[in-house]
Structure 1
Amino acid sequence: MSDGSVVDCRWLRRPAGTVLTTLLVAAAYYLSGRLGLLGRLDIEGVVVTPVWPPTGVAVAALLVFGLRVWPGVALGSLLVIASLTTPQATTLVNVAGNTAAPLCAVLLLRRIGFRPDVSRLRDGMALVFGGLCAMVISSTAGVGVQVLTGKLDTGDFWTVWLAWWVGDTMGVLLVTPLILLFLAPKGRFGLHRWKEALCLVVTALVLVPLAALSPISLLFLVFPLLVWAALRFELIGSMSCALFASVLATFEANTGGGAFVRQSGLEVMAKLGAFNGAVALTALLLSSLVTEQRATRRSIQRACDELAEVLDHLTAGENLPNAAGQRATDDGPRPPGRAPAPPPQ
């Protein structure tokens, strides 16, 4: 597709298609927001989430369907805020920040030359850069409103801001790649290694809960699993494992158990943010690097096959008889009627 999207969006040019897609984006944003709030934490009296999935939904929607669906992001953000508190004039600032951040992220990604299939290491790095930079807008707008309205002390600004920024960024790094992959053309994911995939799933279901639920803090056990998933199943495997590990760790952090037992709210947020960030970066960058190397290897193999085919045709052409019924030699065809020169004594 020439426009770089992962699905055919020509039907969006119709007004009815644009409206319907915008409403679907708003619904997806709202539902993912409600799911994200299940793992919310209280930092200095402000509700934050270690992973905020709506930012990932918004970035993926804008990449796939285009910037024209931005009202769906704004509507979804408004619905999420309205489900928590009565909308006020300051709510518009939060909605504007939550809408502007994904828009800026997509503009940055387009500027860098991001491909939605995340098939290059450059794409993984671009997604990290876009998420880190653009989510500054939403976190600054959200925390700034809390300070201006007196709900948050000025001295606590940076603590809450960092937690807000990390949550929004993790939403982009963990959720956006998976949505882009699931919207990719059919046939990309083969099941020829289904036995190994089943083994990976069983291992993840055993290892990740053990790492998150153990009070000994065994979270590092997740990383060999991510390496295995990235090397064998590329982005779909590694990002699925990363999201599962992040969700389970967030649940334990919210309950104060497992690896987060006997820790303050700030300590929990710092530890969880560091874990989620390490998991997301490992899964995203390693899998995109593996995908790029495999694509390069396939391109080289195709080029070698084509070159071998050309050499076969050239070799066959040298052995074909010429117009006079004689075979070509290295010195060119011999004139008719002349015998070949005797070999030197």
Structure 2
Amino acid sequence: MASVIRSEKARRRTVAVAQLLGVAAAYYLSGRLGLLRQVEAYQSVVTPLWPPTGVALTALLQFGVRIWPGIALGALFTTLTISGSFSPLGIGILIGNTLAPLTAYAALRTVGFREELDRLRDGVVLVFLGAFTGMLVSSTLGCFTLVLSEKLPVERFWPVWACWWAGDVMGVLVVTPILLVLRRARMPRVTDRWLEAVGLFVVMMCASLIATTSTLAMLYLVFPVLIWAALRFQLPGSAPCALLVSVLAVIAATHQAGPFRGHHVLEVMLNLALLNGSVTLTSLLLSALVTEQLNIRREMEHACVELAELVEELTPRSAARARRPSSSERVAIRPELG
């Protein structure tokens, strides 16, 4: 019995270590992807979209607070990749990148966030608590660290802070929903909706390319397609569409192409943040609203079925009681038989 208990504990430790290393690797790899598209803001390098924040928050939602060492380890490797050596500057950025998703996770758990994103309130709190509020920690600590290490002049604090915050927010808004969808993804059944899904992807690709490469400020073209995806496919359809729009917009912004051409870096980051924020808000909130309404409809249909079964169960008994004579009727019948 003791050997069985020891082997079970060893297995659990092995699984826990594997999960920590997996989260660290996912954080590092997503950081490398984020660094492929970076811009220089006031002599500081920032990324328009920082995927590790979304990876870290999803890992916390999946495994709980115990996974934070994996996030810290991934942030450490990413910081070493950027700076080339570990320094007090790296320590401050490491602390901020670890505390930010922990803060977002604590805020989401406090208000009863559900990972299914099947309620309107879940989409709202993910945006305003998980992204907008939680990522204040990483951007603030990171910029303060740059100022204290004399890497950033004080007068440039807020522009760099805004760019840093926007990139971290976009990581949560774009990456977290798609990872939550993939976590519970199942092989879909072959139906006629496959044709609609393929058509949706083609239309979204065309609309996104036109919106992000045209100089005619046609970014609004993506929103009707997002509404189509949310109404017909909910989050599994709208989240990939939002990711596609965000990635193409980041590529255009870093090349200063299309609607981002001729703008200052801060203007580019703000326009990109507003676009990605609007796209993600439309995707999340409309999908959550439709899912919530569908769930209410299913609950009502289930209640109607249960009520019909109960009526059907009680109906034969009521008919039997109606056919059975009462005691007064039996008394009246006996004299006639005599």
One-letter identity of the residue aligned with 1:102: P
Q: C-alpha separation between the residues in 1 aligned to 2:328 and 2:178?
A: 68
Aligned counterpart, 2:236: 236
| Structure 1 position 84, deviation (Å) | 1.6
Aligned counterpart, 1:254: 254
On the 8 A contact 1:101/1:134 being kept in 2, the answer is yes
| Structure 1 position 13, deviation (Å) | 7.9
One-letter identity of the residue aligned with 1:148: L
Aligned counterpart, 2:330: 336
One-letter identity of the residue aligned with 1:327: R
Q: C-alpha separation between the residues in 2 aligned to 1:12 and 1:118?
A: 35
Q: C-alpha separation between the residues in 1 aligned to 2:9 and 2:57?
A: 20
Helix, strand or coil at the partner of 2:114? coil
Q: Give 1:1-345 correspondences, 5 Å limit.
A: 14-86=12-84, 87-128=86-127, 129-184=129-184, 186=186, 190-192=189-191, 193-320=193-320, 327-328=323-324, 335-338=329-332
Q: C-alpha separation between the residues in 2 aligned to 1:65 and 1:328?
A: 63
**Structural RMSD (CA):** 2.1
Q: C-alpha separation between the residues in 2 aligned to 1:13 and 1:108?
A: 32
Helix, strand or coil at the partner of 1:117? coil
| Structure 1 position 190, deviation (Å) | 4.9
- In 2 relative to 1, CA 122–13 (structure 1 residues): closer, same or farther, beyond 3 Å? farther
- Counting helix residues as a fraction of each chain, which structure ranks higher? 2
TM-score by length of 1: 0.89
On the 8 A contact 1:54/1:171 being kept in 2, the answer is yes
Q: C-alpha separation between the residues in 1 aligned to 2:9 and 2:268?
A: 46
Q: C-alpha separation between the residues in 1 aligned to 2:156 and 2:189?
A: 50
- In 2 relative to 1, CA 40–190 (structure 1 residues): closer, same or farther, beyond 3 Å? farther
Q: C-alpha separation between the residues in 1 aligned to 2:9 and 2:42?
A: 47
- In 2 relative to 1, CA 336–12 (structure 1 residues): closer, same or farther, beyond 3 Å? farther
Q: Which moved more, 1:248-257 or 1:37-46?
A: 37-46
One-letter identity of the residue aligned with 2:300: I
Q: C-alpha separation between the residues in 1 aligned to 2:212 and 2:148?
A: 38
- In 2 relative to 1, CA 12–272 (structure 1 residues): closer, same or farther, beyond 3 Å? farther
In the TM superposition, what whole-angstrom CA distance separates every residue of 1:66-118 from its partner, at most 9, and x where no partner exists?
A: 21111111111111111122221221111111001111111111111111111
Q: Which runs of 5+ in 1 are unaligned?
A: 1-9, 340-345
Q: C-alpha separation between the residues in 2 aligned to 1:153 and 1:227?
A: 43
One-letter identity of the residue aligned with 1:29: Y
One-letter identity of the residue aligned with 1:28: A
On the 8 A contact 1:12/1:18 being kept in 2, the answer is no
Helix, strand or coil at the partner of 2:156? helix
Helix, strand or coil at the partner of 2:118? coil
Helix, strand or coil at the partner of 2:330? coil
Q: C-alpha separation between the residues in 1 aligned to 2:253 and 2:35?
A: 13
Using the aligned pairs only, state the percent identity: 46
User: How many residues are aligned here?
Assistant: 324
| Structure 1 position 186, deviation (Å) | 3.6
In the TM superposition, what whole-angstrom CA distance separates every residue of 1:9-54 from its partner, at most 9, and x where no partner exists?
A: x999811111111111011001111111122111111111121110
Q: C-alpha separation between the residues in 2 aligned to 1:176 and 1:304?
A: 36
Helix, strand or coil at the partner of 2:329? coil
| Structure 1 position 242, deviation (Å) | 0.6
On the 8 A contact 1:50/1:167 being kept in 2, the answer is yes
Q: Which moved more, 1:78-87 or 1:68-77?
A: 78-87
- In 2 relative to 1, CA 21–11 (structure 1 residues): closer, same or farther, beyond 3 Å? farther
Q: C-alpha separation between the residues in 2 aligned to 1:274 and 1:242?
A: 13
| Structure 1 position 328, deviation (Å) | 4.6
On the 8 A contact 2:79/2:90 being kept in 1, the answer is yes
On the 8 A contact 1:56/1:172 being kept in 2, the answer is yes
- In 2 relative to 1, CA 60–13 (structure 1 residues): closer, same or farther, beyond 3 Å? farther
One-letter identity of the residue aligned with 1:119: D
Q: C-alpha separation between the residues in 2 aligned to 1:191 and 1:161?
A: 48
Helix, strand or coil at the partner of 1:335? helix
Q: C-alpha separation between the residues in 1 aligned to 2:117 and 2:182?
A: 12
- In 2 relative to 1, CA 185–196 (structure 1 residues): closer, same or farther, beyond 3 Å? closer
One-letter identity of the residue aligned with 1:206: C
